[in-house]
């Protein structure tokens, strides 16, 4: 670089070296292990506390009393050196399956589970004043009996007063939500039995809903489902002030696909309101991951972002997508049924394509068919990923990107 000094009339030449910032690296952050009772190898959920950025995990434990084992919920939070219980261990009633977690802006955690003794309807609890208590009536988070297989989704409304919302999938053929998503929201009492406008009716198992997910963004709670059946894709809805509207129905799937994976379902929303959707579909007998983007009012239809992810998955693969604080998308998924590794890739803004996935866990470390995989970034742009372990006594492994 050449600089002219107008006072001395001298010209000086400087060498400028531009040094790229060091690449971020994934490392093992910590393990959540048993306190009194063994961890159940089924459902769990991880979220970052927005008030301090620390990981919080809700998970199942096998409570044993006088020789009888009962599945219940426990919650632990990272305290700076280890995961520590939030309230009592095994504080819930008996869990059928399915656990989800949400945390409000003040750091108050909420959990939801399908309640075995409440007709497998959803119960929601919140932690305050040193103990867990029900939000509204026990079992009030759904109006009908829920299917234990597809999973549940818990979200919180935006604003100063954040109230829980629930998505469950009905289980009784005579009920109006048989294999379809039922939406419920709390505003002093539970409002249940809310359907999705324009959603096609279930025919046999075709268009049956699986793996609901919820994301709070802007003035809305967005939620989605994977849909069973040939090329039925995924559906995305949003909720505000007691009303549900449809964003996209049966989309986010490759045009040459013959089937959609119903093992998982994941989306994230960027600061400019662009929706990033991670899809798994079968094209020519090969199951592959791809990411679509869509912006309401701008795009006529979802558009694929980059190429297909350079890794073949299976119908039992779990996967998730998250955006860092610069809106850079990352995905995580389990590698295979034999190597059992947690894989991560991100979108490269220079090449405008996905990086080759890398393993951030050891071989045979995570469960073959994990209930869920989690990925989230804190306000300092540090990433956290989680997956449940493969070997008893079970642990939940958490990994960190910085």
CA gap 246, 238 in Å, rounded: 6
Query: What is the domain-level CATH number for residue 194?
Result: 2.120.10.70
CA gap 113, 255 in Å, rounded: 36
Asked whether residue 354 is domain-assigned, the answer is no
- Would the pTM count as exceeding 0.85? yes
Full pLDDT tens readout for the chain, 402 residues = 555 666 566 666 655 444 444 589 999 999 999 999 999 988 899 999 999 999 999 999 999 999 999 999 999 999 999 999 999 999 999 999 899 999 999 999 999 999 999 999 999 999 999 999 999 999 999 999 999 988 999 999 999 999 999 999 999 999 999 999 999 999 999 999 999 999 999 999 999 999 999 999 999 999 999 999 878 999 999 999 999 999 999 999 888 888 888 889 999 999 999 999 999 988 888 889 999 999 999 999 999 999 999 888 887 789 999 999 999 999 999 887 677 899 999 999 999 999 999 999 988 888 866 668 999 999 999 999 999 998 889 999 999 999
Q: How far apart are the first and last CA of the chain?
A: 33
Asked whether residue 99 is domain-assigned, the answer is yes
- In the chain, the number of structural domains is 1
Name which of 297, 237, 292 is nearest 260 in CA terms. 292
Name which of 57, 138, 130 is nearest 94 in CA terms. 138
**DSSP class of 178:** B
Asked whether residue 272 is domain-assigned, the answer is no
CA gap 228, 232 in Å, rounded: 6
Asked whether residue 19 is domain-assigned, the answer is no
Asked whether residue 264 is domain-assigned, the answer is no
Asked whether residue 334 is domain-assigned, the answer is no
Asked whether residue 317 is domain-assigned, the answer is no
Name the residue range of residue 221's domain: 36-251
Asked whether residue 362 is domain-assigned, the answer is no
Residue 50, φ and ψ in degrees, nearest 5: -65, -20
CA gap 335, 366 in Å, rounded: 10
């Amino acid at each position: 670089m050449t600089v002219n000094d107008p006072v001395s009339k001298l010209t000086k030449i400087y060498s400028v070296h531009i040094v790229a910032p060091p690449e971020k690296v994934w490392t093992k952050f910590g393990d959540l292990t048993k306190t009194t009772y063994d961890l159940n190898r089924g459902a769990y959920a991880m979220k970052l506390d927005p008030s301090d950025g620390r990981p919080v995990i809700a998970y199942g434990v096998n409570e044993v009393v006088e020789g009888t084992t009962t599945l219940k919920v426990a919650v632990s939070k990272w305290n700076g050196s280890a995961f520590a219980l939030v309230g009592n261990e095994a504080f819930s009633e008996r869990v059928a399956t399915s656990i989800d977690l949400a945390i409000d802006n003040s750091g108050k955690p909420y959990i939801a589970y399908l309640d075995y003794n409440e007709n497998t309807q959803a119960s929601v609890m919140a932690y305050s004043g040193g103990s867990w208590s029900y939000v509204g009536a026990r079992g009030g988070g759904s109006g009908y009996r829920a299917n234990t297989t597809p999973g549940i989704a818990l979200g919180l409304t935006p604003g100063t007063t954040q109230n829980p919302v629930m998505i469950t999938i009905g289980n009784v053929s005579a009920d109006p939500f048989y294999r379809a998503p039922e939406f419920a929201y709390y505003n002093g009492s539970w409002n249940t039995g809310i359907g999705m406008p324009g959603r096609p009716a279930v025919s046999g198992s075709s268009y049956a809903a699986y793996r609901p997910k919820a994301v709070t963004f802007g003035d809305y709670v967005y939620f989605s489902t994977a849909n069973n059946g040939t090329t039925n894709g995924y559906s995305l809805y949003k909720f505000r002030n007691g009303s549900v509207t449809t964003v996209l129905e049966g989309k986010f799937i490759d045009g040459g696909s013959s089937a959609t994976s119903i093992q998982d379902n994941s989306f994230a929303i960027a600061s400019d309101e662009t929706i990033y959707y991670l899809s798994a579909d079968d094209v020519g007998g090969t199951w592959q991951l791809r990411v679509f983007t869509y912006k309401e009012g701008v795009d006529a239809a979802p558009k694929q972002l980059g190429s297909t992810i350079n890794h073949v998955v299976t119908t039992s693969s779990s996967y998730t997508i998250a955006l860092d604080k610069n809106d850079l998308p990352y995905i995580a998924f389990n590698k295979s049924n034999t190597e059992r590794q947690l894989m991560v890739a991100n979108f490269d803004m220079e090449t405008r394509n996905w990086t080759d996935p890398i393993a951030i866990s050891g071989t045979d470390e995570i469960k073959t068919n994990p209930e869920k995989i989690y990925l989230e970034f804190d306000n300092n742009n540090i990433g956290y990923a989680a997956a449940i372990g493969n070997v008893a006594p079970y642990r939940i492994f958490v990994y960190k990107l910085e």
